[in-house]
A and B are shown apart, each in its own frame.
Chain A
C-alpha cells in the first residue's frame, strides 16, 4: 500500500525545489532514504545534495534508514549554519 509523506525543505533545498513543502508517495513502511528517492524523482535538482543532506522527523535528526511512520513529516536540509558569522 502506498502512503503519502509530507516533506519539508529548507534553505538551499527549498530554493532548489522552488517550494518548501512537497508530498511524495512511497510504499507503506518506507525509509527516509526511499522518501528522498521519491523526492529527487520529482525534484532532480536536489539529487546532487545527497552527501550533504540531514534528515529530521518531528524535532529529531534521523538517519536515512529511519522507517517513516504514518503521520510523520520528513524534513530535508543542508548542513546547519546558524549562530554568528563563521570564521571564513
Chain B
C-alpha cells in the first residue's frame, strides 16, 4: 500500500449531480496502474415485473461518505496491488439509464481491479446509509424491507 501522500486526492462522494464514469476512471489512473475497473450502476426500467419510471435515492450524506471511505480503506488493506479507489453515489431522482453509483479501482494487474471493484459495490449495498424508492406509474415503494408491513414488535 502506498503512503497516502502518493495517492491522488481520494474520491468518496455523495452528490445530486450526474455521475461521470470517465471522471472517476481518470481519478484513479495513476502511473503505477496497469488496469482500471469501473462499475456503473444504472437505473433499470423494470423491477419485479413492474415498469419503473424513476428511482429516488436518499442518503445520510456525511455518514455515507464516511462509509465509502471505510470501504476504500478495506480495499487497500485487502488488495495490496490496488493503487487507487474512487466511489461516488448519486442521490435525488434518477431516470431510466442514469447512473446511480460509480466505482473505479486501479491496480497494477487486472485481477485485483476486478475483485476489489466487485467487493466495493457489494459492501456498499450492505453498509452505506443510502435508500432508494422505486417510482412506478401508479405508486412508489421504498426498497429494503420485505413488503410494506414488517412484523410487529
Contact = CB atoms under 8 A, between A and B. Distances in A.
Contact of B144 (A15, A78, A85): A78
Interface in A67-88: 75, 77-86, 88
Contacts of B60: 8, 10, 56, 75, 77
Interface string B82-122: 00000001000000000011000000000000000000010
A49 B150 contact: yes
B145 A79 contact: yes
Contacts of A14: 58
Question: How many residues of A sit at the interface, in one of the four size bands?
Answer: 20 to 34
The 7 A-B residue pairs whose C-beta atoms are closest, nearest first, are A84-B41, A82-B130, A81-B144, A11-B131, A59-B66, A83-B125, A81-B143
Nearest to A80: B129
A15 B56 CA distance: 14
A84 B62 contact: no
A64 B1 CA distance: 36
Interface in B36-52: 40-44, 47-48
Most buried by A among B47, B66, B129, B143: B129
A2 B88 CA distance: 41
Interface of B: 40-44, 47-48, 55, 57-60, 62-64, 66-67, 89, 100-101, 121, 124-133, 142-145, 149-153
A80 B130 contact: yes
A52 B148 CA distance: 12
Contacts of B151: 48, 51
Contacts of B125: 80-83, 86
A85 B142 contact: no
A4 to B, nearest CB: 21
